[in-house]
Structure 1
């Protein structure tokens, strides 16, 4: 990554809703940031260039190779799942978890991942989530359907719905910092964006 890259270059492949949070001043250089399920690292160049202490995890070794090819300066890269993160409690100021949680295998697995993310996040810290939901597609993807669900686009995903969102807020020590946003993609899927803040212990 060139030191001469502009912010536009650094943010070129970043999730647009994460860019929104960056422009709002949510993230402060020097803070500890975890990308949980980083893949090839598309959301990380801006944070690395702006002096954040970045840690990245993914359970896919090939994805981590791509990450390190793009950002070889990263020192804290771990191959692990969200449920088996090797970090102490309250390690991170912020966590990014984009397009990851909808690979949960059940309600119990999803809640376990949420609790694991809560454990390593500092009190007052934020968790950015982007995942499949049924918001705007409640008839096609009813809450009563077995998880994961078959989406109209042919993929199987764990789908966030209102009852599970309520359970998160009641059981995990998170609160919403902004209203949930959802994006419908041609009636094929609905992607929800959440920004949660850790308010206390589970």
Structure 2
């Protein structure tokens, strides 16, 4: 059943909220990805993702005989008020000692994750998921206090096609069911899950 009311498409989109990450586990033998429970990313400031992939253009007979888009996902940045200690441990591979100290090791392996977030609209919020992301550790910077503007941290994000089915992303539309919309941050949406649940 589709969400009641708010049937018209948004005229505009704005804002950024409800950012979450869900750790990815890959079973290479079964060629299948699974996701952990989404975890809130507090303090999302900006998200900028540029499309990755070139246009394929094959010339013959003095014309563009064949053209096609090469979708390699997205690349960009997620700016946060602060990168949480939990994200640093679960995704960036940092180690928390018994004494309460986070250790960054050059040999640590980062973990892939799904990135979930929401843009507001004049009618209804649009919820998104990028299924197969990786993040690089943020730079370290600060400045002497001059005014009330706090520091921010910037994560470099690469969001590629899923290795099991090549799906890059999904987002809600005006026809989304209440069950899917309300459960967006409870479990990562999988294509066909609504059919299995019926």
Specify the TM-score bucket, using the shorter chain as the normaliser.
under 0.3
Structure 1 length normalisation: TM-score?
A: 0.22
Structure of greater Rg: 2
